[in-house]
Amino acid sequence: MLADPQGSVLYNYFKHGKLERTPGDSITEGIGQGRLTENLKGSPIDDACVVMDTEAVNMTFKLLDEEGLLVENEDFYKLFNNVKINLTLTSFFVRCTHSSIRNGLVGMVGRTPLVRLNKISDETGCDILAKAEMCNGGGSVKDRAALFLIQDAIRKGQLKPGGTVVEGTAGNTGIGLAHMCLSMGFKCVIFMPNNQSQEKIDILRTLGAEVTTVPVCPWDNPNNYNHHARRFAKSLKNAVWTNQFDNRANRLAHIETTGPEIWKETQGKVDAVTFGTGTGGTLSGVGTYLKEKNRHIKVVFQ
């Protein structure tokens, strides 16, 4: 999601080829912290649009009110409990059922269903589908990246049994990593900005992660939470900084799983895909895979 004013940085890049820094408070995580991450470089993006924070909230409740679709995750419930709304609502919770026995929590990553959004599909005359990523084991699309980041470190010999996974994250990547580490027998250490919700910190600690909060500052400041994570991992033996923003294993997760799932589930009948974007991994990975299948598919960056 691109939120003004900082969101205009990458919007300008993808629309006009200019990467400009906008004065203002630092982005904590979204859209690559206002920089072009390794995951975003070379992304097959056809268009970009800015979605204001208030519009994003309104869209969330529109989805709830008109589609009866209530996504189960900590961030949504926090929002739902703190925003006063007047809705006549018959909500239906998307429950995730699997047709086969999965191999632990790791086996719960991927193969999520597509849900047709009936009202807006009927209004537009198009089939508009939502990928139900809350059905992943840790409850978000970031579980895919978390698993691939860890597996990549193991494959490269950077992480051995009993080792420590370190990441700087203000979002669901940390929760995904904590779940995967708990399941796979690794320690998890998370650095995050000190403006994040206590609920998020509590979830991470419940999952066994060690959490350190640091003051908010821009990416190019050495005290940015990501640089704290990098230095901490370097100080330990048998530890890896997974570096979600610039580690191409993030992108690969979606080239190898999310993209193929969408192609298979739609039987190749895809005209366009759109994503809210943080590291750029989901957008780049899915976009790359689908463009290889059909170069006419439009990839829109929100």
Q: Which of 15, 41, 78, 142 is catalytic?
A: 142
Q: Which of 46, 43, 49, 83 is nearest to 288 (CA)?
A: 43
Contacts of 53 (CB under 8 A, 6+ apart): 1, 3
Q: Quick one: how far is CA 289 from the chain centroid?
A: 18
Residue 293 DSSP SS3 = helix
Query: Hey, what are 233's tokens?
Result: 């991992």
142 belongs to the catalytic site: yes
Residue 291 DSSP SS3 = helix
Q: Residue 232: how many CB atoms within 10 A of its CB?
A: 18
Contacts of 220 (CB under 8 A, 6+ apart): none
Q: Which of 53, 5, 36, 4 is nearest to 219 (CA)?
A: 36
C-alpha span between 267 and 35 (Å, rounded): 35
Query: Hey, what are 208's tokens?
Result: 């066994």
Asked if residue 5 has a cis previous peptide bond (ω within 30° of 0), the answer is yes
Residue 47 DSSP SS3 = strand
Q: Which residues are the active-site residues?
A: 142
